[in-house]
Amino acid sequence: MKPVAALAALSLLAASPALAQEAAGKTEITWWGHAAFTVKTPKGFVLAIDPWLSNPSDPVKDPAKKLGKVDAVLVTHGHSDHTGDAVAIGQRTHAKLVASYELAQQLAAAGYPKEQAGMETSGNMGGTIPLSDEVSVTIVPAVHSSGYSRDGKSAPVYGGNPVGFVVHVKDGPTIYHTGDTDLFGDMKLVGERWPVDVMLACIGGHFTMDPEGAAAAAALVGAKVVIPMHYGTFPLLKGTPSELERAVTARDGKARVVVMKPGETRAF
């Protein structure tokens, strides 16, 4: 690179925090409210997890305005607050679908392009699915249910077992999305096998663990950072981030609680 070009590149980096972050090799996590996250790796691979992007917590309702390129859509279970906009994203992008085999079949029947929802990327608990030379996903248990109703009104059909995901980014963080779940003892094994940098943990209660349960889960996993999710979307989901902070401090205080706003991005 000529000196002038190098200087221009440097000043561009200084002017653009996003570019500077990429240059530093960080992985960006964006929360879209409820259980919906996108993860962008240093090489620019984008995963959308439980992409209910039109959820009530996020003021921007148009999913297409939020996401550009998506390489993989990960869905933990069949409930509509998690399948969300998955089919529409699959139709708009070339994103492969990562889900339990049965849920992938249901979403394909609902319009997710079949060639993007095959067995190459659907799987089951215990399986690690390579998505690129930089990213793989391990499917892990969750204690919940997973019925799927295509229109959100008719009686649900079998959508496989509910799961969580461990996202491995080469030279980057290990991210554990719990899915919807209660606290369970085998979460300890997740942290033992793959030291977790960032845990995305449900805290709302009623359908999932509450802040006390999530604090116990973070301690079991040994997560360095815990980001609360699945709270406040509806009045029934009463758990709050400050309750989680108090519970983590009371327990062992080891996990750092990072509270995000819908649409906010953090780099790890």
Question: Applying CB under 5 A, which residues contact Zn ion?
Answer: 81, 180
User: Distance between CA 252 and CA 218 in Å, rounded?
Assistant: 10
Q: Report the C-alpha gap between 215 and 213 in whole angstroms.
A: 5
Nearer to Zn ion, 105 or 208 (CB): 208
First to last CA, the chain: 29
Nearer Cβ to Zn ion (86/169): 86
Smaller CB separation from Zn ion, 55 or 93: 55
Least distance to Zn ion, CB of residue 173, Å: 24
| Shorter beta-carbon distance to Zn ion: residue 81 or 85 | 81
- Alpha helices, DSSP H only, in the chain? 3-15, 17-23, 63-66, 80-83, 86-92, 101-109, 187-193, 211-221, 241-251
- Minimum distance from CB of 114 to Zn ion (Å)? 26
| Torsion sign, CA atoms 187, 193, 195, 196 | negative
Residue 197, φ and ψ in degrees, nearest 5: -80, -45
| Triad 102, 132, 38: Cα angle to 5° | 70
- Between the CA of residue 11 and those of 25, 44, 113, 124, what are the distances in Å? 18, 21, 42, 47
Nearer to Zn ion, 35 or 95 (CB): 35
Which residue's CB is nearer to Zn ion, number 180 or number 243? 180
Considering the complex, what minimum distance in angstroms separates the CB of residue 204 from Zn ion? 8
The one-letter amino acid code at 210 reads D
Here the tokens at position 172 are: 């980057």
**Do 138 and 165 form a contact (C-beta atoms < 8 A)?**
yes
Closer to Zn ion at the Cβ: 63 or 78? 78
Least gap, CB of 42 to Zn ion (angstroms): 30
Which CB atom, from 22 or from 180, has the smaller least distance to Zn ion? 180
Tell me the closest approach of the beta carbon of residue 144 to Zn ion, in angstroms: 8
Q: 192 vs 24, 30, 51, 187, 223, CA distance in Å?
A: 28, 26, 28, 9, 10
For the bound state, the minimum distance from the C-beta of residue 50 to Zn ion, rounded and expressed in Å, comes to 8
Least distance from Zn ion to the Cβ atom of residue 82, Å = 6
Name the minimum Å distance from CB 233 to Zn ion: 8
Q: Are 89 and 99 in contact (CB under 8 A)?
A: no
Beta bridge partners of 103: none
